[in-house]
Structure 1
Amino acid sequence: MSIQVEIWWDIMCPFCYIGKTRFEAALKQFPKRESVTVIYRSYELDPRAERDIDQDVHDMLAAKYGMSREQAKSMNDNVAQMAKEVGLAFDFDGMVLTNTFDAHRMIHWASTQGKQAEMADRLFQAYFTEAKHVGEPAQLAALAGEIGLDAEAAAAMLAGSDFADAVRADEHAAQQLGVRGVPFFLLNRKLAVTGAQSVDVFLDALQQSSGEA
């Protein structure tokens, strides 16, 4: 049987990038991977965030959780090490905090061009590794161009309100499902996997959804 995997995520969520990487590793081991369709669903960790934020990620976490900057940096160093273990390079010192709504609109637009997964990968790498401003429309359009999409068409889309409703619909669906954090993986609208789980957990979920377990 076919398996639909919906992933609620945010570009600025480190565990989403790690979880996505582990899920993809599980998918490579799954014998029926050709029957799996992956859909990225929008979720904003901070929908009230400004596009331009005069604060780095260490100070943001320190303020959010009531800890010192040194404690926040230590926490981020631990996450960076976790990312390194799955082949990802995180540069927390260079990350540019921003609002991700337009980036989510870009993902939906890329989906209509058959490039949703490629756009998600490019955004993750741009934010976590390359210190790019993924809330800036010109930067988003340039990133779209880098994966073979029409950068001018991307800029025109971002200049309007296209796909705003699609982003809101995903977020509403998350509320209806009781999603409280991301990443959140939902297989065939029946089996949920929350967080950046191990490859084995994802593989087991795929096997259960295919009726093998």
Structure 2
Amino acid sequence: MKIEVWSDFVCPFCYIGKRRLEEALSSFPHRENVEIIFRSFELDPDVKKETPLNIHEMIAQKYGISVDEAKRANADIGKQAEALGLTFRFETMKPTNTFDAHRLAQYAKKKGKLHEVVERLFYAYFTESKQISDRNVLLELAEAAGLDRKEAEVVLDDGRYAEQVRHEEAIAAQLGVRGVPFFVLNQKYAISGAQPVEVFRQAIERVWTEEQQSSSLQSLAEEGKTCTDENCTID
């Protein structure tokens, strides 16, 4: 079974959805036969590497709500993350552009280190409050994941894997992906949003045993919480 996951490293529900999927798979008896592939998706391709706004101010601006309302919404998201053993430090997060992080992930995929780099990027942004567009930060994460630092340096400096990032974003557009996380199982079924663990578990079991053929994606659940280029669901 192949599970493709479109996500962005600054999307809170992407990290939450990743953990819920992993939890669902932990009790699946055929886990070793499931391949998870993370695909590139930028929530806001136009955001600068450095912004004067903190995460609360940025969300308030996008939603047209007050900063206090944004803080309450983020606190709720933080509680969902905490229930999964994740720590989201909203007060010190550094909103930034993720294009280079996605290029690094594409390089990691070629080297067989995709999962290590994806997890480190999420953790660096949400828990360590690192600026994941910064070249030195990306090189540190690459090296910590077991990648060759000099090779990673060349990748970041000469623009490699940009085409692969754009290609996966184009596929997402063709599939009609409007928000992330977005999961595609065996290129037949789609799950939108950070669904509960049981939804993932049931979907995995169903797809595993399903033999019908279909040329189009079929939704396996009502739309869950996602982040789009405009906002993250907060209600």
Structure 1 length as normaliser, TM-score?
0.97
Report the secondary structure of 1:186's partner residue. strand
Q: How does 1:151-166 map to 2 (within 5 A)?
A: 151-166=149-164
1:181 equivalenced with 2:176 (yes/no): no
* 1:85 match: 83
Q: What is the CA-CA distance between 1:205 and the residue it aligns to?
A: 1.0
Q: 1:131 aligns with which of 107, 129, 141?
A: 129
* 2:216 match: none
Distance 1:198 1:29 in 2: 15
Distance 1:5 1:212 in 2: 15
Q: How does 1:80-119 map to 2 (within 5 A)?
A: 80-119=78-117
1:141-181, Cα deviation, whole Å (9 max, x unpaired): 11111111112211111001110010000100000000000
Distance 1:164 1:157 in 2: 10
Report the secondary structure of 2:3's partner residue. strand
Q: 2:49 aligns with which of 39, 48, 51?
A: 51
Distance 2:161 2:148 in 1: 17
* 2:7 match: 9
1:53-101, Cα deviation, whole Å (9 max, x unpaired): 1110000000000100000000000000110001000000110011000
Q: What is the CA-CA distance between 1:209 and the residue it aligns to?
A: 1.1
* 1:74 match: 72
* 1:32 match: 30
Report the secondary structure of 1:96's partner residue. coil
Q: What is the CA-CA distance between 1:212 and the residue it aligns to?
A: 6.2
* AA partner of residue 121 (structure 1): E
Listed as ranges, the gaps of 5+ residues in structure 1 are none
1:144 equivalenced with 2:142 (yes/no): yes
Distance 2:34 2:145 in 1: 23
Report the secondary structure of 1:49's partner residue. coil
Cα RMSD (Å): 1.0
% identical equivalent positions: 47
Distance 1:140 1:163 in 2: 15
Report the secondary structure of 2:90's partner residue. coil
Report the secondary structure of 1:38's partner residue. strand
* 1:63 match: 61
Report the secondary structure of 1:93's partner residue. helix
Distance 2:105 2:67 in 1: 33
* AA partner of residue 195 (structure 2): Q
Report the secondary structure of 1:167's partner residue. helix
Distance 2:173 2:114 in 1: 23
* 2:224 match: none
Listed as ranges, the gaps of 5+ residues in structure 2 are 212-235
Structure 2 length as normaliser, TM-score?
0.88
